[in-house]
């Protein structure tokens, strides 16, 4: 089975290096003999390899090569990667990719084209790297109806929030620390604004539904850039951690997907997922609850997932009639955004004094679960249920009495 690689950056160079380091071991585990024969990357001078591999800066030279069976796309981005994959699929190459942005936004077109050409697209490296969640959902838990997925899926955001919580840094300081320590890109926009976690949770939802006819445009995600240190401090005192949670829930047959900062109680294992680590909680009808934990990024770690996909392909790549297991259903699934959580963290800023607020609580029969007067003037932090939150909102709309500054759902 001949392999062509697109790109020679963090992941692709680690993949090629580890393939040759473990060459015998990998080939012992494979059904067909695997070899890397060609690499295409923008600047071939960056490739320093002893092995006899053809190097080119023309991606098309790999994707149209009749001797190549599998194309591994590791250039990232949308347009060029998509064109290269389309051409490879038309030339009946199997694809392995770690490109979650591309699969989440154009997956349906690419998977349909793969089916038409009787080749497969594998993407274990695209979601949670050291957590083999693609295979867990679609293979190990295949008999289950997955009811919910809660994931800490972006290492950069998690690192930033952990620094804010553990080192009392504000958002800007924490992001700087993440960049200095190599946990954030020079341009971390897609990590911080929630888009990367949104790409990943869309893919996990598609796998759990066995259907990738989901429209990424319908998925609403919120970033962590407006989170204030004082909320992190309050939340810590209340016995919770603030985490960027990518969620997917099925409620009365409706699918809800989103990404936002949520409070996670200290007894929930997800609250222990710190620094740049990833963690996922799955809930389903048969296995109940399952927590998974692992490294969410890194060239070497991602190469492990790509090598696993490659070994899998060695068993099926010659099949004349591939039976596709990931996405067998193609009916459109609407993504709902207005999910109602049971409880919320609310921070209120007063325009009037505390006594008036106490009167309001009494008169409106609002049962505050917990309240706390802070060192910040005229500010309350409340943990309230969804009905109480709505009462607060409608009272406030009518009277313009106080500002609801922040609302975070509680997991």
Ligand X SMILES: NC(=O)c1ccc[n+]([C@@H]2O[C@H](COP(=O)([O-])OP(=O)(O)OC[C@H]3O[C@@H](n4cnc5c(N)ncnc54)[C@H](OP(=O)(O)O)[C@@H]3O)[C@@H](O)[C@H]2O)c1
Residues with a known catalytic role: 200
Distances (CA, A) of 203 to 53, 123, 158, 171, 396: 33, 10, 20, 28, 39
Interface mask (CB under 6 A) for ligand X, residues 183-222, using x and -?
----------------------------------------
Pairing outcome for strands 335-336 and 35-40:
unpaired
Q: Which stretch binds ligand X (CB under 6 A): 5-13, 235-243, 283-291, 357-365?
A: 5-13
Q: Which stretch binds ligand X (CB under 6 A): 37-45, 103-111, 140-148, 345-353?
A: 37-45
Minimum distance from residue 275 beta carbon to ligand X (Å): 15
Q: Is 297 in the site for ligand X (CB under 6 A)?
A: yes
Q: Is 8 in the site for ligand X (CB under 6 A)?
A: yes
Count of residues near ligand X by CB under 6 A:
22
Burial class of residue 46, CB neighbours in 10 A (0-12, 13-18, 19+): exposed
What is the number of H-type helices and E-type strands within the chain?
14, 17
**Exactly one of 25, 29, 42, 182 binds ligand X (CB under 6 A); which one?**
42
Q: For 274, phi and psi rounded to 5 degrees?
A: -115, 180
- Closest chain position to ligand X (CB): 9
Q: Is 181 in the site for ligand X (CB under 6 A)?
A: no
Minimum distance from residue 188 beta carbon to ligand X (Å): 12
Mapping DSSP to helix (H, G, I), strand (E, B) and coil, where does residue 298 land? Answer: coil
Distance CA 68, CA 36 (A): 9
Pairing outcome for strands 2-6 and 35-40:
parallel
Q: Is 122 in the site for ligand X (CB under 6 A)?
A: no
**Exactly one of 3, 68, 75, 153 binds ligand X (CB under 6 A); which one?**
75
Element of type H or E holding 220 = strand 220-221
Looking at residue 336, the DSSP 8-state letter turns out to be E
Name the token pair of 171.
Answer: 């958002």
**Exactly one of 3, 59, 153, 382 binds ligand X (CB under 6 A); which one?**
59
How many CA atoms, within 13 angstroms, populate the side-chain half-sphere of residue 308? 18
Q: Is 43 in the site for ligand X (CB under 6 A)?
A: yes
Q: Is 107 in the site for ligand X (CB under 6 A)?
A: no
Distance CA 121, CA 78 (A): 16
Minimum distance from residue 214 beta carbon to ligand X (Å): 19
- The β-bridge partners of 150 are 247, 281
Interface mask (CB under 6 A) for ligand X, residues 240-279, using x and -?
----------------------------------------
Name the token pair of 64.
Answer: 């149209």
Q: Is 179 in the site for ligand X (CB under 6 A)?
A: no
Q: Is 368 in the site for ligand X (CB under 6 A)?
A: no
Q: Is 161 in the site for ligand X (CB under 6 A)?
A: no
Q: Is 294 in the site for ligand X (CB under 6 A)?
A: no
Q: Is 4 in the site for ligand X (CB under 6 A)?
A: no
How many CA atoms, within 13 angstroms, populate the side-chain half-sphere of residue 170? 4
Distance CA 55, CA 187 (A): 29
Q: Which residues contact 35 (CB under 8 A, 6 or more apart)?
A: 1, 2, 3
Question: Which residue number, 126 or 255, has a Cβ lying nearer to ligand X?
Answer: 126
**Exactly one of 2, 10, 37, 138 binds ligand X (CB under 6 A); which one?**
10
Minimum distance from residue 256 beta carbon to ligand X (Å): 25
Minimum distance from residue 244 beta carbon to ligand X (Å): 17
Question: Token pair 């790297």 is at which residue?
Answer: 129
The closest alpha carbon to 277, from 294, 298, 302, 260, belongs to 294
Minimum distance from residue 104 beta carbon to ligand X (Å): 11
Q: Which stretch binds ligand X (CB under 6 A): 282-290, 297-305, 316-324, 400-408?
A: 297-305
Distances (CA, A) of 113 to 127, 274, 328, 399: 22, 39, 14, 57
Residues lying near ligand X in the complex (CB under 6 A): 7-12, 41-43, 59, 74-76, 80, 98-99, 125-126, 129, 297-298, 302
């Amino acid at each position: 089975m001949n392999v062509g690689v697109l790109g020679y950056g963090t992941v692709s160079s680690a993949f090629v290096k580890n393939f040759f380091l473990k060459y015998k071991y990998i080939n012992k585990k494979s059904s067909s003999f695997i070899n890397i024969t060609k690499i295409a990357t923008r600047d071939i001078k960056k490739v320093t390899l002893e092995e006899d591999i053809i190097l080119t800066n023309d991606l098309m030279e790999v994707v149209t090569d009749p001797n190549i069976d599998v194309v591994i796309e590791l250039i990232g981005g949308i347009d060029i990667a998509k064109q290269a994959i389309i051409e490879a699929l038309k030339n009946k190459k199997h694809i392995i990719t770690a490109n979650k942005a591309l699969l989440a936004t154009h997956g349906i077109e690419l998977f349909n084209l793969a089916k038409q050409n009787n080749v497969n697209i594998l993407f274990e490296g695209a979601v949670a790297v050291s957590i083999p969640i693609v295979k867990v959902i679609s293979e190990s838990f295949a008999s289950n109806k997955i009811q919910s997925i809660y994931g800490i899926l972006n290492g950069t955001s998690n690192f930033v929030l952990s620094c804010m919580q553990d080192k009392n840094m504000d958002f800007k300081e924490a992001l700087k620390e993440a960049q200095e320590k190599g946990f954030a890109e020079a341009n971390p926009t897609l990590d911080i604004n929630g888009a990367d976690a949104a790409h990943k949770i869309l893919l996990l939802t598609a796998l759990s539904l066995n259907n990738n006819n989901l429209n990424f445009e319908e998925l609403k995600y919120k970033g962590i850039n407006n989170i204030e240190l004082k909320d992190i401090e309050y939340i810590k005192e209340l016995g919770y951690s603030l985490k960027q949670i990518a969620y997917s829930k099925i409620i009365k047959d409706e699918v809800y997907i989103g990404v936002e900062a949520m409070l996670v109680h200290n007894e929930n294992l997800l609250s222990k997922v710190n620094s740049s680590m990833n963690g996922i909680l799955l809930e389903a009808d048969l296995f109940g609850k399952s927590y998974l934990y692992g490294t969410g990024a890194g060239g070497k770690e991602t190469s492990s997932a790509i090598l696993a996909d490659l070994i899998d392909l060695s068993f099926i790549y010659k099949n004349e009639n591939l039976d596709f297991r990931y996405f067998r259903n193609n009916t459109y699934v609407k993504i709902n955004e207005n999910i109602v959580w049971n409880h919320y963290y609310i921070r209120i800023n007063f325009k009037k004094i505390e006594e008036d607020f106490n009167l309001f609580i009494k008169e409106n029969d609002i049962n505050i679960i917990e309240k706390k007067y802070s060192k910040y003037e005229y500010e309350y932090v409340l943990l309230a249920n969804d009905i109480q939150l709505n009462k607060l909102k409608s009272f406030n709309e009518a009277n313009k009495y106080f500002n609801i500054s922040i609302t975070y759902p509680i997991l």
